[in-house]
Amino acid sequence: MKKGIHPDYHPVVFRDPSANFAILTRSTIRSDRTIEWSDGKVYPVVDVDVSSASHPFYTGRSRVMDTAGRVERFRQRYAGRPGSRSEPSPEGQPDAEAEGPAAG
């Protein structure tokens, strides 16, 4: 390899504070913050938002979403608008959906 053209490749600790998980690996990233590792040496530390310890794909835990509440809010918001399904049809006129496809 040519000297002087490659970035500094050194040990770095990547830490996921939300999952209390850290891994020591090698990287070219730089950090001003340091941490003492279990081997007694001090390494630069980089905090990450998501790691394999906290990502739903790897943990098997998914986030619960309130889809029923969102659907109800949508229906309440758009219930009175013309063309909405929740709007009752005028007396004596059947719904276009109830008839099915037009014969032709």
Structure tokens at 19: 């999952």
What would the pLDDT profile of 49-80 be if each residue is shown by its tens digit?
A: 888 787 766 666 665 556 667 778 888 888 87
Give the Cα separation of 14 and 16 in Å (integer).
7
Instruction: Let me know: does 46 contact 15? Beta carbons within 8 Å.
Output: yes
- Residue identified by tokens 């990233």 is 29
For residues 83 and 18, which has the higher predicted lDDT (pLDDT)? 18
pLDDT of residue 40: 95
- Tell me the C-alpha distance between 104 and 100, whole Å: 12
Q: Which is more confident, 103 or 81?
A: 81
Question: Residue 84 above 90 pLDDT?
Answer: no
> pTM for this one?
0.53
pLDDT digits (tens, 9 = 90+) for 16-39: 888 889 999 999 999 999 999 999
| Domain chopping of the chain, boundaries | 10-59
For the cut 70, the answer to whether the pLDDT of residue 90 exceeds it is: no
